[in-house]
Amino acid sequence: MVPLIKGKSARESLEEQGLWDEYRGKFPFNPTRFDDQSLSVSSEQMTNDADLAYFGVISIGTPPQSFTVIFDTGSSNLWIPSIYCSSAACANHNKFNPGLSSTFKNAGKSLSIQYGTGSMTGFEGFDTVVVGGIPVKNQIFGLSQSEAPFMAHMKADGILGLAYPRLAASQATPVFDNMMTQHLVNQDMFSVYLTRNSEVGSMVTFGGVDPNHYYGQIAWIPLSSQMYWQITVDSVTVNGQIVACNGGCQAIVDTGTSNIVGPQADISSMARAVGAYSANGDNVVNCNSINNMPAMVFHIHGQAFTLPASTYVRQSTYYGCRTGLQSSNSDLWILGDIFIRQYYSIFSRAQNMVGLALAR
């Protein structure tokens, strides 16, 4: 198990410093994690999500060097900053020094990962990576040599991708695939529990589920594609009316995105249905009306997954209340941390399914 810390998001830090509006202008949020060209070239779309707040600690090398990473089910590479990086983003993060590790091997390959607003470039190496006490030998990972400016505002040092190998840049083997191959987990699955408010308590469990973190039955949903953790959503309703995803849509369950992201027309329709209006690029609501706002219901594989207003409205000290609904120019929906906080999420590579159960 890897305990996750829920820290301040980049957005919260920037709001406190009065820099959010300037930052938002410079780095417009681009939640599009996917364009199909990225499969043929060695780049992987990742999002510059200023609301991300959960990260855990891993170590790399012998003796171990520690890093905080975002455990991201929407990407497949592991990368961290290296001492060869001189970007501003590397100056305020921990940097890996391969010269200090007796088990490091240079893979002799370069790596480039595209973000919505820039990229991470570097090279690949192999070393022992310890995740939640599990030592993964000869794990390939990226060592950054340059990082996009927005990464300076990320709390985590790097990213540990938990999606399928097909999504990995440079055909790198993902960490969980090595855990399976090296027989380091009891079952070929991992589970994610995200706390609603408290800074401590969030958890990624490798090799099984933790019954202390959910109520009732687990609903098992077959994947519609094995690249992201992608499932079919049948519809989204508010007050019994279909407001989005009419006739069905594709969605990914993504710990590396904080909000619910969907096509513009659908997100606008959902926002209207719950009484939100658009301001400064956010869907804003009156903080006093949260208790009277309706739930959103995602209908998936014959079951209803309900998000009450308290789960999808965020209160900011400086910007009032806003919904966690964001539009993108893709048809692929993203069920991010807002959804995962409400539904304990189990990612089964053995069955190629996602399991969802009401989180405790």
The predicted structure's pLDDT at residue 7: 65
Whether residue 94 is predicted with pLDDT greater than 90 in this model: the reply is yes
Catalytic residue among 51, 127, 177, 254: 254
Whether residue 42 is predicted with pLDDT greater than 70 in this model: the reply is no
The whole-chain average pLDDT of the chain stands at: 87
Output the CA–CA distances (angstroms, integers) from residue 207 to 68, 210, 331, in the order listed: 21, 10, 32
The predicted structure's pLDDT at residue 39: 34
The predicted structure's pLDDT at residue 241: 97
3-state SS, residue 179:
helix
- Would you call 72 a catalytic residue per the annotation? yes
Instruction: Give 114's pLDDT tier (boundaries 50, 70, 90).
Output: confident
The predicted structure's pLDDT at residue 36: 39
More confident residue, 4 or 60: 60
The answer for residues whose C-beta is within 8 angstroms of residue 20's C-beta and 6 or more apart is 11, 14, 318, 319
The predicted structure's pLDDT at residue 20: 67
Dihedral (CA of 316, 322, 324, 327) sign: negative
Topology annotation, domain 2-184: Cathepsin D, subunit A; domain 1 (2.40.70)
Whether residue 303 is predicted with pLDDT greater than 80 in this model: the reply is yes
Distance, first Cα to last Cα, the chain:
17
- Would you call 254 a catalytic residue per the annotation? yes
For residue 25, count CB atoms less than 10 angstroms from its CB and return exposed for 0-12, middle for 13-18, buried for 19 or more: exposed
The predicted structure's pLDDT at residue 41: 29
Instruction: Give 95's pLDDT tier (boundaries 50, 70, 90).
Output: very high
> What is the C-alpha separation between 284 and 274, in angstroms, rounded?
10
Nearest by Cα to 4 from 340, 355, 347: 340
List the CATH code of the domain at 212-359: 2.40.70.10
Peptide bond into 28 cis (omega under 30): no
- Equal CATH topology for 2-184 and 212-359: yes
Whether residue 106 is predicted with pLDDT greater than 80 in this model: the reply is yes
C-alpha angle 290-297-294 in degrees, rounded to nearest 5? 25
Backbone φ, ψ for residue 13 (5° rounding): -60, -45
As given in the structure block, the two tokens for residue 285 are 């609501």
Q: Break the chain into its structural domains and give their ranges.
A: 2-184, 212-359
Catalytic residue among 72, 157, 177, 282: 72
pLDDT cut 70: percent of the chain above it? 88
For residue 217, count CB atoms less than 10 angstroms from its CB and return exposed for 0-12, middle for 13-18, buried for 19 or more: exposed
The predicted structure's pLDDT at residue 161: 94
Q: Is the pTM of this model over 0.85?
A: yes
As given in the structure block, the two tokens for residue 304 are 């209803």
The predicted structure's pLDDT at residue 34: 45
As a whole number, mean pLDDT of residues 38-59 equals 56
As a whole number, mean pLDDT of residues 114-126 equals 82
The predicted structure's pLDDT at residue 27: 62
As a whole number, mean pLDDT of residues 61-77 equals 93
More confident residue, 198 or 284: 284
Cβ contact 140:126 at 8 Å:
yes
For the chain, the C-alpha Rg in angstroms (whole number) is 20
